């Protein structure tokens, strides 16, 4: 479907896949496939190696991200683990400083147990990144925008550094999704998604995706994917396909809501800092003091205090104790992830209701502050 636009490709995933002309992708639960003779196969043998429902998802994400081949994994973390099976003990990787906490935790395991080494870049000056390259460096791992400080990185510039030094450029595209950013078009070699978030979009399935755009890498990923079995089940693959069909529409509403909420928060005196790149549905903001975090979170009625993002329901997260709890506090504070920072994943509710909810929570907070004075 190379000639269609993203919205069309997303909507049409799986349509007409089977000979009956089913409009909706069929779910193949069968783990084994009959052979007509030795060495004869219709393309599927055993479900870990390949499953027709999973294949629909894998082909679709490869097409939409503009890469060679897709791999559907049991979670975003297993997608990252799959990519890191490309590296060996002694290899060095440069990664974004402001990173999903679970990714940082996995990198710590890879460092301590598998002897990979990591350097972290603050995402500001590309020259600083170039200076971190050493003979052992094999890859650059970027999240853009960063999480939760929402700092955008110029992927074309980073890809230039990667190419000059023969490094792989790996991009976690969970926050912007291919509707807003296609890293391979900017020179990335591998794109990773936690499909649990925007791609599936309904807070009901854990899934990860990898898209590779380099033949040698693709072959190795295919081998590891099957050998390790970090694969996504057929029903979960179907849930992600179902979510993807409305991704473009949802992203529009997420972004509209986030822009309106960011404008509102900018004018709110109890907010000391708003971090929103102007794009996408994620934003972070800081209250005047960490003491205000708990009363504020418990005052919210519509927006749910929970640890995830990218679903239709608005969720608010406290990175210091939730998503980023595995990053040592001193390190977090040093790079600007304070104990008063909240991260909001704006859902697709009506923006007036979301802003009203924030307003009443700030009013309660104000009364609480006044009572203590």
Ligand X SMILES: *Cc1c(COP(=O)(O)O)cnc(C)c1O
List residues near ligand X by CB under 6 A.
75-77, 100, 102-103, 143, 147, 172, 174, 194, 196-197, 206, 208
Active site residue 335: no
DSSP string, 154-207: -HHHHHHHHHHTT-EEEEE-TTTHHHH--GGGGT-SEEEEETTTTTT-SS----
Question: Smallest gap, in angstroms, from Cβ of residue 147 to ligand X?
Answer: 5
Q: Which is nearer to ligand X, 116 or 365 (CB)?
A: 116
Tokens found for residue 253: 């509403």
**Tokens standing for 241?**
């396909």
Answer yes or no: 301 catalytic.
no
| Catalytic residue, candidates 63, 91, 98, 100 | 100
The minimum distance between CB 193 and ligand X, in angstroms, equals: 8
To the query of whether residue 197 is one of the catalytic residues in this protein, the response is: yes
Number of CB atoms found within 10 A of residue 209's CB: 26
Q: How far apart are CA 325 and CA 76, in angstroms?
A: 18
Catalytic residue among 48, 59, 279, 364: 48
Report how far apart, in Å, the C-alpha atoms of 31 and of each of 45, 59, 234 are.
8, 20, 10
CB of 291 to ligand X, least distance (A): 27
CB closer to ligand X out of 84 and 362: 84
DSSP of 24-58: SPP----SB---SSTT--SS-SBTTT--HHHHHHH
In the bound complex, what is the minimum distance in angstroms from residue 57's beta carbon to ligand X?
A: 15
Nearer to ligand X, 133 or 210 (CB): 210
- Residue whose C-alpha is closest to residue 240's, from 71, 47, 69: 71
Q: Which residue's CB is nearer to ligand X, number 53 or number 75?
A: 75
Please tell me which residue in 172, 189, 236, 357 is annotated as part of the active site: 172
We find the least distance from the C-beta atom of residue 121 to ligand X, in angstroms, to be: 16
Rg (CA), the chain: 22
Q: What is the chain's length?
A: 373
Give 204 or 356: the residue with its C-beta nearer to ligand X. Answer: 204
- Phi, psi (rounded to 5 degrees) for 42: -90, 15
Active site residue 97: no
**Contact 75/215 with Cβ under 8 angstroms?**
no
Active site residues: 48, 100, 172, 197
């Amino acid at each position: 479907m190379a000639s269609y636009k993203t919205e069309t490709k997303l909507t049409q995933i799986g349509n007409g896949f089977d000979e009956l002309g089913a409009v909706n992708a069929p779910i193949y639960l069968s783990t084994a496939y009959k052979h007509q003779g030795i060495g004869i196969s219709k393309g599927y043998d055993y479900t870990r190696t390949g499953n027709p429902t999973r294949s629909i998802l894998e082909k679709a994400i490869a097409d939409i991200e503009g890469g060679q081949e897709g791999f559907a994994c049991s979670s975003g973390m297993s997608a990252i683990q799959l990519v890191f099976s490309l590296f060996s003990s002694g290899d060095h990787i440069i990664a974004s400083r402001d990173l999903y906490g679970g990714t940082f935790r996995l990198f710590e395991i890879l460092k301590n147990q598998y002897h990979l080494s990591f350097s972290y870049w603050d995402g500001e000056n590309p020259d600083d990144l170039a200076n971190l390259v050493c003979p052992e460096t094999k890859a650059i791992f970027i999240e853009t925008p960063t999480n939760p400080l929402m700092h955008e990185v110029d992927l074309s510039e980073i890809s230039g550094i990667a190419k000059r030094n023969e490094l792989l450029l790996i991009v976690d595209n969970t926050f912007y999704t291919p509707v807003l950013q296609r890293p391979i078009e900017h020179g990335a070699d591998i794109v990773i998604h936690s499909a649990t978030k925007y791609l599936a979009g309904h807070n009901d399935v854990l899934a990860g995706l990898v898209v590779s755009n380099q033949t040698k890498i693709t072959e190795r990923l295919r081998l590891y994917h099957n050998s390790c079995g970090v694969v996504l089940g057929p029903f979960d693959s179907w849930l992600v396909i179902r979510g993807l069909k409305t991704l473009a529409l949802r992203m529009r509403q997420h972004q509209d809501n986030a822009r309106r909420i960011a404008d509102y928060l900018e004018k709110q005196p109890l907010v000391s800092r708003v971090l929103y790149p102007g794009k996408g549905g994620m934003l972070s903001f800081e209250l005047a003091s960490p003491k205000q975090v708990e009363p504020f979170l418990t005052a919210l009625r519509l927006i749910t205090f929970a640890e995830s993002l990218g679903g239709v329901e608005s969720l608010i997260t406290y990175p210091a104790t939730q998503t980023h709890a595995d990053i040592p506090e001193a390190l977090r504070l040093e790079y600007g992830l304070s104990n008063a920072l909240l991260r909001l994943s704006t859902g697709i509710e009506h923006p007036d209701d979301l802003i009203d909810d924030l307003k009443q929570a700030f009013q309660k907070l104000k009364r609480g502050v006044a009572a203590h004075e």
